[in-house]
Chains A and B, each alone.
Chain A
Amino acid sequence: MLIELKGVNKTYNNGQPLHVLKGIDLSIDSGEFVSIMGASGSGKSTLLNILGILDNYDTGEYHIDGRLIKGLSEKQAADYRNRLIGFIFQSFNLIGFKTAVENVELPLFYQGVGRSRRHQMAMEYLDRLGLADWASHYPNEMSGGQKQRVAIARALITNPKILLADEPTGALDSKTSEEVMQLLSRLNRQEGVTIIVVTHESGVANCTDKIVHIKDGIIGEIEDNREHRASMFGVNTIMK
């Protein structure tokens, strides 16, 4: 198993203690295309943060590829995030004063990859996502779909084991949303990238092979969705 969570609990202690995750057990194998679905407040974002080593959990165990992710130093956590995980955010989170190619280069910069090598790699990835012509454009000169593709290139460039997407279509219209989801599933099929999508849109979830429902901090049903017929709205398109 690539990802294994056993009895993960998380409580926020901001004034009123808030028990967000109440014993999460979840296994995701390498090469899977999974969505985590739930309403807002269900704990899915917290789960994503823990999966992405952006946040700590209180009790339980979380293994990536056999490595226990617990009590890491900031430095080690940063290193794991850099090498194991690629992030795709709802609001793209590109750095506004850097060009597309500079944004894509950034994870390699923090790996200590040399200047010309990382530039070359970044161009390669942009090319694969069809954005080679846009390499020297700034994010505010691009459309939402383009920005998300730049973000995907940035997430892929370190060749991570897991791609974590937090509402990747949240800021996109339905047509671009579909393109992005198709891109993700192509990455999963052709290159075997493990992708975890967190969403509240059933149409988005329907594009994935496995849907993990989360509600009130507990994993509910785990749907096998290889037929892509989970959502009545999402059979042919992503409903917005």
Chain B
Amino acid sequence: MRFDIDSFREIADSLVRNKSRSLLTGFGVFWGIFMLLFLMGGGKGFKDMISANFAGFATNTDILVSSRTSKPWHGFKEERYWQLSYTDVERLKQMVPELETVTPVINSWGQTAVYGANSVQAGIRGIYADYAKIEEPRVVYGRPLNDADILQERKVCMIGKRVYNSLFPDGGDPCGTFIKVGSVYYQIVGVDFSSGNISVGGRADQTVSIPLPVAQKLLNRGANVDLICTTGKPGVRMSDMEPRMRQIVARQHLFDPSDKQALVMINTEQMFALVDNLFVGVSFLIWLIGLGTILAGVIGVSNIMMVTVKERTTEIGIRRAIGATPRDILSQIILESISLTLVAGSFGIVLAVQLLRLVTFIVRSNPDNPAADFQVTFWLAVTAALLLTVLGVVAGLAPASRAMAIKPVDAMRDE
């Protein structure tokens, strides 16, 4: 294979000679690679946005909520209401050693938090310190609730982002100040800015979290709790734990263990799996569409190269007569094909990257949106360029083999 600047000049010449044809053919490849990269970037950005909703939330969480029974059991009628109790926490801890965290939650909604002249609607959430393992707080001021708060039943609280913004519109560290929720004053010890949209019993940013024993007493809940949140130890699948947990709770509270309605178990693992599956499906579609479009473009290139070879039969014959080997012809055609795909595809890559940059910029310019990144990675772009080269070769194969079949005698015959 002989190769120098003239080889490239020749390729450029022959592509420029049929400007509109090269342009239209290249457009197919350009559009294909653009679609693939743009869709991939878009898919990634949306995944980022959706994943941001789960931020800080343990992925192997199972939340137990009591509800009315739907089956009669041991002499009780159906439609009986029962409540999870404080003792269930210890029971689950003892009887299901695979669980890492078992922590109860008490909720009370429709409270008003007041500081000075400012007030805001908020929910009270009574928690233990280990609730942080379920929903990780993003503490910007102060600290989360700790075991000492719980044991000494201190009237302290950690407030969510929206509560903070409403009560302290001027900003600043509010720790140490007292706010009134309901009829009780709590001292602020921390501010939680976590913004995940999964939350247990209400959004974290509209919540005032207080020690659970305090909530228990102030809200007259007795031994009852609203929710029990559990997480498994590493490697434990929460869906495997569910039947046992159900058995344990059912025996204690006298309902049918097969009564799924009586004890609702919300398994985040399944939710995450659902979202993951969704994105597997989405990226499959993206690949299908993107590759399909590129393929259509490449077939277009191949087709046009076929026409070019046909048109240039005489020229190729002349070249063969004056000493071009079949390999020279092959490399000429393949290089032309690669050049066409690569040049057109590079424009596609550039346009996709620039547009994705714009999209990222627009999405981020709204502070309410999660920090999603729509941009494709550098290596993905490099891979795309390599893919183009390979596709260029593939597109050139059929026309090149036809060109190689041209005999030098054809130079004289085809007049």
A residues with CB within 8 A of B: 45, 49, 52, 54-55, 74-75, 78-79, 81-83, 87, 89-91, 93-97, 106-107, 109-112, 114-115, 154, 158, 166
| A166 in complex: contacting residue of B322, B408, B412, CB < 8 Å | B412
B interface residues, how many (CB within 8 angstroms): 26
Chain B residues, Cβ within 8 Å of A74: 325-326
A1 smallest CB distance to B (angstroms)? 24
Chain B residues, Cβ within 8 Å of A55: 407, 409
- Given A75-B325, A79-B325, A110-B324, A95–B318 Cβ distance below 8 Å? yes
Total cross-chain contacts (CB, 8 A): 72
CA distance A49 to B408 in the complex (A): 9
* 1/0 contact string of B386-415 vs chain A (CB within 8 Å): 000000000000000000000111011001
Q: Are B323 and A81 in contact (CB under 8 A)?
A: yes
Q: Are B319 and A54 in contact (CB under 8 A)?
A: no
Q: Which of A55, A78, A106, A166 has the most CB of B within 10 A?
A: A78
Q: Are A97 and B14 in contact (CB under 8 A)?
A: yes
Q: Any chain A CB within 8 A of the CB of B52?
A: no
CA distance A181 to B327 in the complex (A): 36
Q: Are B412 and A89 in contact (CB under 8 A)?
A: yes
A167 smallest CB distance to B (angstroms)? 10
Chain B residues, Cβ within 8 Å of A82: 322-323
Q: Are A109 and B326 in contact (CB under 8 A)?
A: no
Name the residue on A nearest B318 (C-beta): A93
Chain A residues, Cβ within 8 Å of B408: 54, 81
CA distance A33 to B350 in the complex (A): 62
Chain A residues, Cβ within 8 Å of B411: 89, 93
Q: Any chain A CB within 8 A of the CB of B136?
A: no
30 contacts between A and B (CB under 8 A): A49-B409, A52-B321, A54-B321, A54-B408, A55-B407, A55-B409, A75-B326, A78-B323, A78-B325, A78-B328, A79-B323, A81-B323, A81-B408, A87-B322, A89-B412, A91-B412, A91-B415, A93-B318, A95-B318, A96-B315, A97-B13, A106-B319, A107-B323, A109-B2, A110-B322, A110-B323, A111-B323, A115-B6, A154-B322, A166-B412
Q: A49-B409, A55-B407 are in contact. List 12 more A-B contacts (CB 8 A).
A: A75-B325, A75-B327, A81-B320, A81-B323, A83-B323, A90-B412, A93-B314, A93-B411, A93-B412, A97-B14, A110-B322, A154-B322
Q: Any chain A CB within 8 A of the CB of B74?
A: no
Q: Any chain A CB within 8 A of the CB of B368?
A: no
Chain A residues, Cβ within 8 Å of B321: 52, 54, 81, 87, 93
B residues with CB within 8 A of A: 2, 4-6, 13-14, 17, 314-315, 318-328, 407-409, 411-412, 415
Q: Are B409 and A106 in contact (CB under 8 A)?
A: no
CA distance A2 to B139 in the complex (A): 96
CA distance A58 to B14 in the complex (A): 38
CA distance A89 to B85 in the complex (A): 103
Chain B residues, Cβ within 8 Å of A49: 409
CA distance A186 to B304 in the complex (A): 46
A36 smallest CB distance to B (angstroms)? 15
Q: Are A97 and B6 in contact (CB under 8 A)?
A: no
CA distance A97 to B18 in the complex (A): 12
Chain B residues, Cβ within 8 Å of A114: 4
- Given A109-B6, A110-B2, A78–B324 Cβ distance below 8 Å? yes
Chain A residues, Cβ within 8 Å of B320: 78, 81
CA distance A131 to B301 in the complex (A): 39
